[in-house]
Amino acid sequence: MSNYQSSGRLSDNGSTDTVVCSGTATLSSHIDNGTGVMTWQFKGPSGEWETIYGGTTGTTAQVFTDQNHMVNVYFGGDVVVKGVLSSGGGTPRFDWQIISSLDNK
């Protein structure tokens, strides 16, 4: 995969690959087993990882515990994105995918 897309599987606590996103990006994951919380984050201008917010008012942290989810986001320039898994019990297995399309810039 290129710098603008990646996929894989997370088990237990950890994070996905970091992916450069620009324009429209799709962040998705699916829980295969166990329970856990997937949080989508981007590297802010300060160099710190920040939670991606969305929802109707733009104030809802994009944090997911459900079996399947997908988030579409738009970035005006190159932004580094990752998912972070926090184990909720058992041994969670999350299949994840981050795809950014430069055509949508």
Name the residue among 88, 85, 93, 95 with its Cα closest to residue 35: 88
Query: Could you tell me the two tokens for 90?
Result: 């058992």
- Whether residue 4 contacts residue 75, with contact meaning beta carbons closer than 8 Å, is answered with no
Higher pLDDT, 26 or 76: 26
The yes-or-no verdict on residue 20 having pLDDT over 50 is yes
Q: Which CATH superfamily is domain 5-98 in?
A: Mitogen Ypm (2.60.120.510)
Q: What is the dihedral of CA 17, 18, 21, 24, to 10 degrees?
A: 50
Would you kindly state where each structural domain of the chain is located, as residue ranges? 5-98
pLDDT of residue 42: 92
Name the residue among 68, 65, 40, 43 with its Cα closest to residue 54: 40
Entry pTM: 0.83
pLDDT of residue 81: 93
Structure confidence by residue, pLDDT tens digits, 44-80: 888 999 988 887 888 888 777 767 788 888 888 889 9
pLDDT of residue 1: 46
105 vs 100: CA distance, rounded Å: 10
pLDDT of residue 8: 92
**DSSP state at residue 24:** E
